[in-house]
Amino acid sequence: MDPGKRKEQIVVGTLYELLFMTRGREYSQQKMESIVLKVARAYGASPEMLRQMAEHSPPLLIGMRSTNEEVSESTVSSVTPPTFEVWVDGNHHIVEDISSYEKRKEEYLLWIDLDQPGKIRPRAIKLLKYLVEHIGQRIPFEVILKDVFDDPLTGKPFEESNRNKVEVQLTVINKFSRGQFRKHLFRNKFTCGLGLSKTFSAKYFLFRRL
């Protein structure tokens, strides 16, 4: 994707979401900067973009919210914002539509609408998103327990109860992929780190509507 287009999507997507998050509420500029950073980081803004957005976005948002409702609505409707947040090909970004991906839907082992995930469990989705966002990397097992399962580590990391927490969710994902998911996991996942090979980059498509 063209870098300029990518930056435009990040900025527009961030501002669009912030308008709704802050609607009807009053925040100090410092608090607004904190919110801007959190949202822009989720959209994949680079450190330099984060710095610029933290500086320029709060005054813009405050100015937009201070105008009358009619003008505010007109301003927002004049922009066609990105409408999907997607995880695909080792990337996490915002797109206006997913029709080009839908044409290839049958090529993916995992095609998951995060707004309607069906039988796949929320914890399994959280683990899957974490792994694809770190695709090609091995994540220490104790870090997985903390970041995905929100568990304070009790006892030894590799106790059977801790292993089972992860194995159950991997099994859910594997069943959802018709038994094709596990073969893309790195070997020795508990001793060397859990992670997905980059061979899985073209095998999944996760999305949600903004």
The confidence score (pLDDT) of residue 107 equals: 93
14 and 67 fall within a common domain: yes
What domain range is 99 assigned to? 92-209
Q: What is the pLDDT of residues 62-99, one digit of tens each?
A: 665 555 444 444 444 444 555 898 999 988 888 888 99
- CA dihedral in degrees (110, 147, 49, 22; nearest 10)? 90
Rounded Cα gap, residues 193 and 140, in angstroms: 4
Q: Where are the beta strands (DSSP E) in the chain?
A: 84-88, 91-95, 110-113, 204-209
In this model, does residue 106 exceed pLDDT 90?
yes
Give me the mean pLDDT over the 108-122 stretch. 89
The confidence score (pLDDT) of residue 158 equals: 65
Q: Which residues contact 83 (CB under 8 A, 6 or more apart)?
A: 95, 96, 97, 209, 210
Rounded Cα gap, residues 24 and 29, in angstroms: 15
Structural domain total, the chain: 2
Place of tokens 């927490």: 165
In this model, does residue 116 exceed pLDDT 80?
yes
Rounded Cα gap, residues 127 and 194, in angstroms: 11
152 and 188 fall within a common domain: yes
Rounded Cα gap, residues 113 and 27, in angstroms: 33
114 and 137 fall within a common domain: yes
Place of tokens 């009790």: 154
46 and 149 fall within a common domain: no
Q: Are 98 and 85 in contact (CB under 8 A)?
A: no
Q: Are 122 and 130 in contact (CB under 8 A)?
A: no
User: Which pTM value belongs to this model?
Assistant: 0.61
Q: What is the pLDDT of residues 159-195, one digit of tens each?
A: 788 889 899 999 999 999 999 999 999 999 988 999 9
53 and 144 fall within a common domain: no
Q: What is the pLDDT of residues 135-166, one digit of tens each?
A: 999 999 888 988 898 766 566 666 788 889 89
114 and 10 fall within a common domain: no
